[in-house]
Amino acid sequence: MVQSALTIRGLRYAYGAHQVVDGIDLDASVGAVLGVLGPNGAGKSTTISLAVGTRRPDAGTVEIFGLDPYRRHEETSQLAGVMLQDGGLPMSAKPLAVLRHLSSLYANPRPIDEIAGILGIPEFASRSIRRLSGGQRQRVALAAALIGRPRIVFLDEPSAGLDPQARAVVHDVIRELAATGVAVVLTTHDLTEAEALADDIVVIDRGRIIARGAPEVLRSSSGLGRRLVITVPDAPDPDSEAGHRFAAALSAVAPTTVQGTHLIAAGDLDSTAIAALCTVIAEAGLSIGDIAMQSQSLSEVFFDLTGRPLR
Ligand SMILES: Nc1ncnc2c1ncn2[C@@H]1O[C@H](COP(=O)(O)OP(=O)(O)OP(=O)(O)O)[C@@H](O)[C@H]1O
């Protein structure tokens, strides 16, 4: 049985009258990456702060390996590594001093040289945190989250602002964590990253989970993620009367949109519907240039779900 590292049920939180987390249920499993996606202001960071026990929920429960992270913060902070967006690093300290200090708080820390080496920290170790670039600070914050050998890590946009090389290193580190049995909760705006790393994804919008599943399931569930594209080179101008008639005849068969010479029908159409669309095209005296089933990217699926782009 897959062991749950994080269990959240009925979580609610409001800033004053603003309900930001509105009944969230989620689970993160050991040895797996859970991707948490959602547009700006969706409530992701607030959910993470409730999950790690730095805020107290208004309602609902959170358990990290069976412990309430708010009431038993001392114990759960030994189990959980946290990398937040603002970093929370002391500005005047140097990276290795920060890691040495944190390392002293854990019973069995990772060797500092090892984690610093993996993340390329030695190349800027002589400077204080204040004098590091955003990407360099990110790497120190990630090392800080991992130094205590956590059994679950919360990574809030860990690769935002990193150059491609550093980003690839961070992705390798995340894969390695999951492969060694760590539960990873990864908040990201980067859908390519989510598809590449996450075993499961939850999409949060306005404080609620509006979709969940493995990336490939999310893309294919309820017809989302697939669309039929028929190219009609001589399609009439959509604003002309012929264009209106053509669009109406198509829509009588299946929900379609005409974009220039492309006729697009969302969802998985069966062969009868595809044949009926072809008949409409032939009866309008038009020919077909190409027919293709396309997979939508996760980003297009996301837009369909929330009505908003991720950024
Ligand atoms: N300390 C706070 N006091 C009042 N409102 C807050 C506070 N922190 C966040 N909010 C509001 O709560 C909502 C959710 O914010 P949150 O940071 O959880 O979203 P998010 O999904 O992490 O967004 P982003 O992708 O931009 O990081 C936003 O409308 C935000 O303005």
Q: Find the helix packing angle between 95-103 and 134-146, rounded to 10°.
A: 20
Domains and CATH numbers, the chain: 4-220 (3.40.50.300), 226-295 (3.30.70.100)
Q: Are 288 and 278 in contact (CB under 8 A)?
A: yes
Share of the chain above pLDDT 90, in %: 62
pLDDT of residue 174: 96
pLDDT of residue 311: 57
The CB of 207 under 6 Å from ligand 1? The reply is no
The CB of 188 under 6 Å from ligand 1? The reply is no
Angle at the Cα of 218 from the Cα atoms of 53 and 266, rounded to 5 degrees: 140
CB 150: neighbour CB atoms within 10 A? 22
Mutate to test the pocket of ligand 1, among 12, 13, 45 (most ligand atoms within 8 A of CB): 45
Q: What mean pLDDT comes out for the span 68-78? A: 94
Tell whether the model's pLDDT for residue 1 goes beyond 70: no
Tell whether the model's pLDDT for residue 249 goes beyond 60: yes
The CB of 43 under 6 Å from ligand 1? The reply is yes
Which tens digits make up the pLDDT trace of 100-111?
999 999 889 999
Q: Closest Cα partner for 224 from 273, 290, 296?
A: 296
Tell whether the model's pLDDT for residue 185 goes beyond 70: yes
Instruction: Please identify, by atom number, the ligand 1 atom nearest to the C-alpha of residue 85.
Output: 27
pLDDT of residue 13: 98
CA of 21 relative to ligand 1 center, distance in Å: 10
Which tens digits make up the pLDDT trace of 190-201?
888 888 899 999
Query: Residue for token digits 């550093």?
Result: 166
> In terms of pLDDT, which residue wins out, 295 or 37?
37
pLDDT of residue 24: 96
For all residues of the chain together, what is the average pLDDT? 89
Instruction: Please identify, by atom number, the ligand 1 atom nearest to the C-alpha of residue 157.
Output: 27
The CB of 291 under 6 Å from ligand 1? The reply is no
User: 209: helix, coil or strand?
Assistant: strand
* Band (256; pLDDT cuts 50, 70, 90): confident
The CB of 46 under 6 Å from ligand 1? The reply is yes
